[in-house]
Amino acid sequence: MRILEGERVTKHFGGLAAISNVDFHIDQGDIVGLIGPNGAGKTTLFNLISGALVLNSGVITFKGQRISGLKPHQICRTGVARTFQSVRVFANISVLGNVLLGSSFGTSTSMSSTDVKREATECLEFVGLSARRAIAAKDLTLANQKRLEVARALATKPELLLLDELIAGLNPTETAQAMELVSRIRDRGITILMIEHVMKAIMSICNQVIVLHHGEKIAEGTPQKIATSKTVVEVYLGK
Amino acid sequence: MKIERVIFHRFFVPGLLGLIIVLLASLPLYYPSTYIFVLLTSIFMYIVLTVSWVIFSGPTGYISLASAAFFGVGIYMSAVFGKVISLPLVIGIGGLASFCLALLVGALTLRLRGIYFSIFTFGLVVLIQQLLLWWEVVQMHTRGRFVIVVNNTTIYYIMLIILVALMLTAYLIRRSKYGLALQSIGEDEEAAAHTGINVTALKIITFAISAFFTGAAGSIMATRWTYIDPYIAFNPLFSFLPVLMAIFGGMGHFFGPVLGAVIFGYLEEVLITKFPYYYMLIFGTILVIAILYLPGGVVGLIQKWRKGDLAEQHANP
pLDDT beyond 70 at A111: yes
pLDDT beyond 70 at B249: yes
Strand order in A16-27's β-sheet? A16-27, A2-13, A57-62, A65-66
Instruction: Judge: A84–B191 Cβ closer than 8 Å, yes or no.
Output: yes
Instruction: Judge: B190–A72 Cβ closer than 8 Å, yes or no.
Output: yes
Instruction: Judge: A101–B194 Cβ closer than 8 Å, yes or no.
Output: no
* B59: chain A residues, CB-CB within 8 Å: none
More confident residue, B310 or A103: A103
pLDDT beyond 90 at A203: no
Instruction: Judge: B191–A52 Cβ closer than 8 Å, yes or no.
Output: no
The answer to whether B68 contacts chain A (CB < 8 Å) is no
How far is residue B317's CA from residue B296's CA, in Å, rounded to a whole number? 29
The answer to whether A138 contacts chain B (CB < 8 Å) is no
* A71: chain B residues, CB-CB within 8 Å: 193, 198
Task: Fill in the amino acid letter for A94.
Answer: S
Probe site for chain A from B183, B194, B198, B251 (most A CB atoms < 10 A) = B194
What pLDDT was estimated at residue B316? Answer: 45
Portion of chain A with pLDDT greater than 70, in percent? 100
Probe site for chain A from B184, B195, B202, B203 (most A CB atoms < 10 A) = B195
* A153: chain B residues, CB-CB within 8 Å: 195
The answer to whether B197 contacts chain A (CB < 8 Å) is yes
What pLDDT was estimated at residue B158? Answer: 94
Query: Exposed (0-12), middle (13-18) or buried (19+): which is B16, by Cβ within 10 Å?
Result: exposed
How far is residue B47's CA from residue B168's CA, in Å, rounded to a whole number? 13
Q: What is the mean pLDDT of residues B106-118?
A: 87
Q: If you average pLDDT over every residue of chain A, what do you get?
A: 93
Query: Exposed (0-12), middle (13-18) or buried (19+): which is A197, by Cβ within 10 Å?
Result: middle
List, for residues B49-89, the tens digit of each pLDDT value.
999 999 999 999 999 999 999 999 999 999 999 888 999 99
Shortest Cα–Cα distance, A201 to chain B (Å): 26
What pLDDT was estimated at residue A2? Answer: 92
Chain A residue with the nearest C-alpha to that of B184: A90
Shortest Cα–Cα distance, B181 to chain A (Å): 7
Strand order in A31-35's β-sheet? A80-82, A160-164, A191-195, A31-35, A208-213, A216-221
How far is residue A34's CA from residue B64's CA, in Å, rounded to a whole number? 42
How far is residue B80's CA from residue A228's CA, in Å, rounded to a whole number? 80
pLDDT beyond 90 at B292: no
List, for residues B190-210, the tens digit of each pLDDT value.
999 999 999 999 999 999 999
Of A51-65, A206-220, B298-312, the poorest mean pLDDT is in B298-312
What pLDDT was estimated at residue B194? Answer: 96
Q: What is the mean pLDDT of residues B9-35?
A: 82
What pLDDT was estimated at residue A39? Answer: 87
Chain A residue with the nearest C-alpha to that of B196: A73
Of A156-165, B74-83, B284-293, the poorest mean pLDDT is in B284-293
Backbone torsions φ then ψ of A214, nearest 5 degrees: 50, 40
Of A104-118, B59-73, B275-289, the poorest mean pLDDT is in B275-289
Residues 156-185 of A with CB under 8 A from B: 156
Q: Is the Cβ–Cβ distance between A10 and A61 less than 8 Å?
A: no
Instruction: Judge: B180–A89 Cβ closer than 8 Å, yes or no.
Output: no
List, for residues A79-95, the tens digit of each pLDDT value.
999 999 999 999 999 99
Q: If you average pLDDT over every residue of chain B, what do you get?
A: 89
Portion of chain B with pLDDT greater than 70, in percent? 95
The ipTM of this complex is 0.93
Portion of chain A with pLDDT greater than 90, in percent? 81
Q: What is the mean pLDDT of residues A159-178?
A: 93
Chain B residue with the nearest C-alpha to that of A111: B177
The answer to whether A115 contacts chain B (CB < 8 Å) is no
What pLDDT was estimated at residue A239? Answer: 63
pLDDT beyond 70 at B309: no
Name the band, by pLDDT with cuts 50, 70 and 90, for residue A143. Answer: very high
Portion of chain B with pLDDT greater than 90, in percent? 57
Using alpha carbons, select from B93, B95, B79, B224 the residue that is nearest to residue B143. B79
pLDDT beyond 90 at A139: yes
pLDDT beyond 80 at A234: yes
Using alpha carbons, select from B40, B90, B131 the residue that is nearest to residue B215. B90
pTM: 0.91
Name the band, by pLDDT with cuts 50, 70 and 90, for residue B313. Answer: low
The answer to whether A90 contacts chain B (CB < 8 Å) is yes
pLDDT beyond 60 at B228: yes
Q: At what angle do helices B256-274 and B34-60 cross, to 10 degrees?
A: 140
More confident residue, A161 or B38: A161
pLDDT beyond 70 at B315: no
* B177: chain A residues, CB-CB within 8 Å: 100-101, 104-105, 113, 116
Shortest Cα–Cα distance, A44 to chain B (Å): 15
Q: Is the Cβ–Cβ distance between A191 and A79 less than 8 Å?
A: no
* B196: chain A residues, CB-CB within 8 Å: 73, 76-77, 102, 105-107, 109, 156
What pLDDT was estimated at residue B317? Answer: 39
Instruction: Judge: B196–A77 Cβ closer than 8 Å, yes or no.
Output: yes
How far is residue B279's CA from residue A203's CA, in Å, rounded to a whole number? 74
Q: How many CB atoms lie within 10 A of CB B57?
A: 27
Q: What is the mean pLDDT of residues A7-12?
A: 94
* A100: chain B residues, CB-CB within 8 Å: 177, 180
What pLDDT was estimated at residue B310? Answer: 59
Probe site for chain B from A46, A78, A104 (most B CB atoms < 10 A) = A104
Q: What is the mean pLDDT of residues A9-38?
A: 93
* B2: chain A residues, CB-CB within 8 Å: none
